[in-house]
Structure 1
Amino acid sequence: MRTTVKVLGTGLLLLTVTACAANSGAGAPAASGPGSSEPPTASASASAPATLTPTLGPPPSRTVGRPTQGIAPGDDVIAESQVDARGLPEGYPRSLVRSLDGRTLTLQAEEGGCRRISAHVGDQTAQQVVVLVAVTSAPKGQMCPDYIREIKVPLVLSAPLGSRTVVLRQG
């Protein structure tokens, strides 16, 4: 009984090693030239080491240098002193980022389930820019999926923001 177990174990081990060697190409002879069916000579195999093809990952993203979350390089968070959010109800987004040229503001918010957030630029004067923010929810009793995602709502201005105040209002 012991001998049978040892023989089966040894056979299984040899089968596993052989299968692994066949998959890695370690036991396969290399041809001496492209399309050649001749076995390699000792000098050919000694002078030409086996080359491994590197495994390449996915191609680089087209948004290299731009993070998928947070503030993009070159963008600037607008100071709280420059944002007037007194007209917004509790729970509305208030985080704004200014682009490098100052002509685009980005409202950063979280939405999910049945809650949707939208915003658009209202009146623009020499002293202030009004941004109207709307938050919609599902009717009471409606089931909504349970997820949250970060969104960015771009708001294009007619002129760079400069030192103007951004007034956030419900709308």
Structure 2
Amino acid sequence: MRTTVKLLGTGLLLLAVTACGAATSGAGAPAASSTGPETPTTSASPPVSGSPTIAPPPSQTVGRPTQGIAPGDDAIAETQIDARTLPEGYPRTLVRSVDGKTLTLQAEEGGCRRVSAHVGEQTAQQVSVLIAVTAAKKGQMCPDYIREITIPLALAEPLGTRTVVLRQG
């Protein structure tokens, strides 16, 4: 019985190694045949060597980018952001739109961690932004991923030289 199990295990191992070797060396790949006539392509652009390029759906190419800073926007200077009361690990990166009436909070979330934000009190000297970060309950299993998100925050008036105060909330 032991000999049969050992032989079967060795055979499966040999089969797996052979299959992996064939996959990486190109063995077993179909050879190109030149026996039949080639059909002309009706593509408007000439084929490019390498893998084919597939254009993303229009919904992903229209509008503002999902990562980074949109053209025309600018990052708000750290001297204009007051995040002293914000707990460690909370997002602190803000971007101002071209017209100054929209702030965008850039953050990372993933697994069971979620980030949300909204504009609080707005005065002539400062704008308050309340940020909430929720995490998983103790013992809860969460998927292992991180993604960059942007949260748009509409202001009543352009930011100008006002200070942005980030608070937990």
For the structure 1 residues 60 and 145, does the alpha-carbon distance in structure 2 shift closer, same or farther, using more than 3 Å as the test?
closer
Q: 1:99 to 1:127 in 2, by over 3 A?
A: same
Cα deviation for residue 67 of structure 1 reads: 3.6
Aligned counterpart in structure 1 of residue 39 of structure 2, from 25, 42, 45: 25
2:88 counterpart SS class: coil
In the alignment, structure 1 residue 115 sits paired with structure 2 residue 113 = yes
Count of residue pairs brought into register by the alignment: 131
CA distance in 1, matches of 2:99, 2:79: 20
Amino acid across the alignment from 2:152: P
Structure 1, unaligned stretches of length 5 or more? 1-12, 27-50
Runs of at least 4 residues off by over 6 Å:
none
Alpha-carbon distance, 1:68 to partner: 3.5
Q: In structure 2, the residue corresponding to 1:87 is in which secondary structure?
A: coil
Query: Over residues 76-112 of structure 1, what are the superposed CA-to-partner deviations in whole Å (9 max), with x where a residue is unaligned?
Result: 1000000000010000000000000000000000000
1:53 corresponds to 2:54: no
Q: Which amino acid aligns with 2:39?
A: G
Query: Against the structure 1 CA distance between its residues 161 and 140, is the aligned structure 2 distance closer, same or farther, given a 3 Å change threshold?
Result: same
TM-score normalised over the length of structure 2: 0.70
CA contact under 8 A between 2:110 and 2:144: conserved in structure 1?
yes
RMSD: 2.4
Query: Higher Cα Rg: structure 1 or 2?
Result: 1
Structure 2 unaligned regions, length at least 5: 1-30, 46-52
AA matched with 1:53? S
* SS in structure 2 of the partner of residue 16 of structure 1: coil
Q: Distance in 2 between matches of 1:59 and 1:151?
A: 20
